[in-house]
Chain A
Amino acid sequence: MKVLIVEDEPEMLEVIAQALEQEDLLVEKATDYFSALHKIVSYEYDCIILDISLPGGSGLALLKELKNMQKTEGVLIVSAKDSVDDKVIGLQAGADDYLSKPFHQAELIARTKAILRRKNSFSLTLLNVSDLSVDTESRQVQANGSELQLNRKEYEILLYLCVNSGRLVSRTALAEKVWGDNVDIADNFDFIYSQIKNLRKKLKESGSTVKIEAVYGIGYKLTANEAT
């Protein structure tokens, strides 16, 4: 699947591209308004990751052009502006989602994939990692053929790890996912750890090959045994 990244900061562009490439997505890049417009007119993408402030014009104007052309690309706005108003304006202009900087790679991947899932009707609500499948609509999780009984936070954490399967999800990214922004995280690491411990136990009891690995002290990674 093809993703266009429109971002004027070269280093930012680079890290976003790298993260997406690791997910086996085809990545195209544009660093200003006109080259982005040119690419949008000329090619079809599955998803566009769009910065708002660009040299040569605003990302919102680009979004308008896109809608005028009746293109159906999913758009994820990535912006340093994080007020509710900015988000509302972005979403009203037709963006599918809004991610404010700074963000975690895990969050970027999760949001991008959600857009891709929505845009491509296949596997709309079902997420599969090896023998683990998560139904995002009924919020049910099957592991090795049997259903896992998870509480709300466990479900959210597992879903997040599944979306980012094979990728390191840092503890802070997890904590933020669970707690929302603007939290003093320190105390929550214990909480996250205890949730992970429960998840591991439940996965093990089901006989699933899927494992939650600790990656150094930094975070966790969902892996399937057969893949490694």
Chain B
Amino acid sequence: MKLLNYTSSWFALLLLIIIPVWAGVFYFTILDEIYDSMDDGLENQKILVIEKAYQDSSIVNKQTFGEGYYAFTPVDPEKALKFQDIYLDTLMYMKNEDEFEPVRMLKTAFHLNGHYYHLRLITSMVEEDDLISVLLYALAGLYIGLVCTILILNQLLIKRVWLPFYGLIDKLKHFKLNGPDTFVPPPTKIDEFILLNSTVRKLIQSNIDTYQSQKQFTENASHELQTPLAIGINKLELLAQEADLKPQQAAYIESAMNNLERMKRLNSSLLLMSKIENNQFGDRVAVNVNQTVYQLLEDLTDMVEYRQITIQTHDHMELIWELNKGLADILLSNLLKNAIFHNKPGGQITIQFSNGVLKISNNGEPRELDRNQIFERFYKGSESTSRSGLGLAIARVIAQNCRLILDYEYDAVSYTHSFTLTQ
């Protein structure tokens, strides 16, 4: 749930509780005020009616309300003397509404020309059910209005307030330790976000430093190994030149040489990878992938013929990609060599150039490879251990560096392994 929706729904819920309570208080306060004002009005009318009665005593004969708002009733002096003014709610038939409606009534008693009278004054009153329903509608309207306002405010204000936060998240999402970009959090004036930014920046910086020193170490180590390796291999070559070696001695030398050679290849592959990851291959040019593949195939012709592999190419499209030329050569030749060496003798390689995709397929073992592992360093299927297991890892590192997608597919029907490069 988004923070925005979370706060909004809490606001809506709390308002749902607060507004009825507030409405109740409001209702009774208003009602009280209305009664108060009506009673004041009745009191005033009482004085006016009594004054009128002193001037024109005939009106005291008006014993029903009829069209008027007052009525007199003669009463015993004792009762009248004991009588105190009372206000009360009662019902009265209203012609216009054709029903009994509540009215406010003041009952009082007074003395005129030696007689005592009860005087009843009425005034029409707020209909409570109407008031309640009007109030209810008003409140419902108010509630909806409030929630809408809050939503809009949230959208406008909170979204704005959280802008640096979402900016930071977005930057983090796209940040890569081995990427070329430095991490710059979006600017903000809010203390909490400044704190968050500086904390994240520190964390990332320490990660970058660690990563850099690790990479540096790999590169330095690989570098420093070159000379001792060269000495070792050369000394063994000198030793092998000796004329009278026993077969056993020669076998030892051969084995030592092979292992040093393997180490040399591993070392140079690791060095290459760390160089690629260090972005030491800068300048990109438009590389014609089709042409490059054909050139590489020409270099590999003898091996292809030796293994009796047939190659089919389908040029649906001329692929021109922005790549570093050297890396493109390594990437494509690794994929081609992979297709040759993991092929079965007399097998087939199909190369397709289609819209934005280069697909290299080869026959091979009738078994799907683990796509999560084949691009890992030092992954070896059931192959002999003499391979470095770095060819595809290098291919992937280059693909990442060149912003290409390298993927693997397997067709279980024809036992075809395919590698695709997508721009």
Contact of A19 among B234, B257, B330 (CB under 8 A): B234
Within 8 A of A (CB), among B325-373: 326, 330, 337, 341
Contact A216 B229 (CB under 8 A): no
Please tell me the number of chain B residues within 8 Å of chain A, measured between CB atoms.
Answer: 46
Contact of A182 among B265, B275, B303 (CB under 8 A): B265
Q: Enumerate chain A residues within 8 angstroms of B280, measured Cβ to Cβ.
A: 83, 85
Q: How far is the CB of A85 from chain B (nearest CB, A)?
A: 8
Would you call A41 an interface residue if the criterion is a C-beta within 8 Å of the partner chain's C-beta atoms? no
Q: Mark B240-252, 1 if CB is under 8 A from A, else 0.
A: 1100010100110
Q: Enumerate chain B residues within 8 angstroms of A216, measured Cβ to Cβ.
A: 240, 245, 247, 250-251, 253-254
Cα-based distance from A198 to B386 in the complex (angstroms): 26
Q: How far is the CB of A9 from chain B (nearest CB, A)?
A: 5
Q: Enumerate chain A residues within 8 angstroms of B306, measured Cβ to Cβ.
A: 190-191, 194
Contact B265 A218 (CB under 8 A): no
CB nearest to A84 among chain B residues: B326
Would you call B202 an interface residue if the criterion is a C-beta within 8 Å of the partner chain's C-beta atoms? no
Contact A215 B240 (CB under 8 A): yes
Q: Mark A156-168, 1 if CB is under 8 A from B, else 0.
A: 0000000000011
Contact B257 A184 (CB under 8 A): no
Cα-based distance from A194 to B233 in the complex (angstroms): 25
CB nearest to B253 among chain A residues: A218
CB nearest to B334 among chain A residues: A182
Known: A82-B268, A104-B237, A184-B387. A217 touches B230 (CB 8 A): no
Would you call B58 an interface residue if the criterion is a C-beta within 8 Å of the partner chain's C-beta atoms? no
Q: Enumerate chain B residues within 8 angstroms of A195, measured Cβ to Cβ.
A: 302
Q: How far is the CB of A148 from chain B (nearest CB, A)?
A: 17
Q: Enumerate chain A residues within 8 angstroms of B237, measured Cβ to Cβ.
A: 19, 104-106, 168, 170
Would you call A187 an interface residue if the criterion is a C-beta within 8 Å of the partner chain's C-beta atoms? yes
Contact A101 B384 (CB under 8 A): no
CB nearest to B258 among chain A residues: A172
Contact of B341 among A106, A152, A181, A187 (CB under 8 A): A187
Q: How far is the CB of A195 from chain B (nearest CB, A)?
A: 8
Q: Enumerate chain A residues within 8 angstroms of B245, measured Cβ to Cβ.
A: 216
Would you call A219 an interface residue if the criterion is a C-beta within 8 Å of the partner chain's C-beta atoms? yes
CB nearest to B238 among chain A residues: A18
Q: Enumerate chain A residues within 8 angstroms of B226, measured Cβ to Cβ.
A: 80, 82, 100-102
Within 8 A of A (CB), among B199-238: 223-224, 226-227, 229-235, 237-238
Would you call B269 an interface residue if the criterion is a C-beta within 8 Å of the partner chain's C-beta atoms? yes
Q: How far is the CB of A57 from chain B (nearest CB, A)?
A: 18
Contact of B271 among A16, A82, A170 (CB under 8 A): A82
Would you call B185 an interface residue if the criterion is a C-beta within 8 Å of the partner chain's C-beta atoms? no
Contact A170 B227 (CB under 8 A): no
Q: Enumerate chain A residues within 8 angstroms of B231, measured Cβ to Cβ.
A: 9, 11-12, 15
Contact A101 B386 (CB under 8 A): no
Would you call A183 an interface residue if the criterion is a C-beta within 8 Å of the partner chain's C-beta atoms? yes
Contact B261 A15 (CB under 8 A): no
Q: How far is the CB of A151 from chain B (nearest CB, A)?
A: 7
Q: Enumerate chain B residues within 8 angstroms of A105, measured Cβ to Cβ.
A: 234, 237-238
Contact A103 B250 (CB under 8 A): no
Within 8 A of A (CB), among B35-85: none
Known: A184-B265, A184-B388, A191-B303. A102 touches B229 (CB 8 A): yes
CB nearest to B391 among chain A residues: A184
Q: Is the interface of B mostly helix, strand, loop or mixed?
A: helix
Cα-based distance from A106 to B303 in the complex (angstroms): 22
Q: Enumerate chain B residues within 8 angstroms of A18, measured Cβ to Cβ.
A: 238
Within 8 A of A (CB), among B286-306: 299, 301-303, 306
Known: A12-B227, A101-B227, A216-B250. A186 touches B238 (CB 8 A): no
Would you call A185 an interface residue if the criterion is a C-beta within 8 Å of the partner chain's C-beta atoms? yes
Cα-based distance from A81 to B337 in the complex (angstroms): 25
Cα-based distance from A215 to B232 in the complex (angstroms): 19
Cα-based distance from A85 to B283 in the complex (angstroms): 11
Cα-based distance from A2 to B229 in the complex (angstroms): 27
Would you call B272 an interface residue if the criterion is a C-beta within 8 Å of the partner chain's C-beta atoms? yes
Contact B387 A186 (CB under 8 A): yes
Would you call B264 an interface residue if the criterion is a C-beta within 8 Å of the partner chain's C-beta atoms? yes
Cα-based distance from A168 to B234 in the complex (angstroms): 11
Q: Enumerate chain B residues within 8 angstroms of A22, measured Cβ to Cβ.
A: 241
Contact A182 B268 (CB under 8 A): yes
CB nearest to A219 among chain B residues: B240
Contact B254 A217 (CB under 8 A): yes
Q: Enumerate chain B residues within 8 angstroms of A11, measured Cβ to Cβ.
A: 231, 235
Would you call A188 an interface residue if the criterion is a C-beta within 8 Å of the partner chain's C-beta atoms? yes
Q: Enumerate chain A residues within 8 angstroms of B391, measured Cβ to Cβ.
A: 184
Contact A186 B337 (CB under 8 A): no
Cα-based distance from A185 to B341 in the complex (angstroms): 10
Q: How far is the CB of A18 from chain B (nearest CB, A)?
A: 6
Q: How far is the CB of B344 from chain A (nearest CB, A)?
A: 13
Would you call A71 an interface residue if the criterion is a C-beta within 8 Å of the partner chain's C-beta atoms? no
Contact B230 A101 (CB under 8 A): yes
Contact B227 A80 (CB under 8 A): yes
Contact B230 A102 (CB under 8 A): yes
Q: Enumerate chain A residues within 8 angstroms of B269, measured Cβ to Cβ.
A: 182
Q: How far is the CB of A227 from chain B (nearest CB, A)?
A: 14
10 tightest Cβ-Cβ pairs between the two chains A and B = A216-B250, A102-B230, A186-B386, A15-B234, A80-B226, A101-B230, A102-B229, A101-B226, A184-B387, A153-B302
For the A-B complex with A194-B306, A217-B254 known, give 14 more contacts whose Cβ atoms are closer than 8 Å. A12-B227, A15-B238, A100-B226, A101-B226, A101-B229, A152-B301, A167-B241, A168-B237, A182-B265, A183-B337, A185-B265, A191-B306, A216-B245, A218-B254
Chain A residues in contact with chain B, CB under 8 A?
Answer: 9, 11-12, 15-16, 18-19, 22, 80-85, 100-106, 151-153, 167-168, 170, 172, 178-188, 190-191, 194-195, 215-219
- Can you give 5 A-B contacts (C-beta < 8 A)? A102-B233, A104-B234, A152-B302, A184-B337, A184-B341
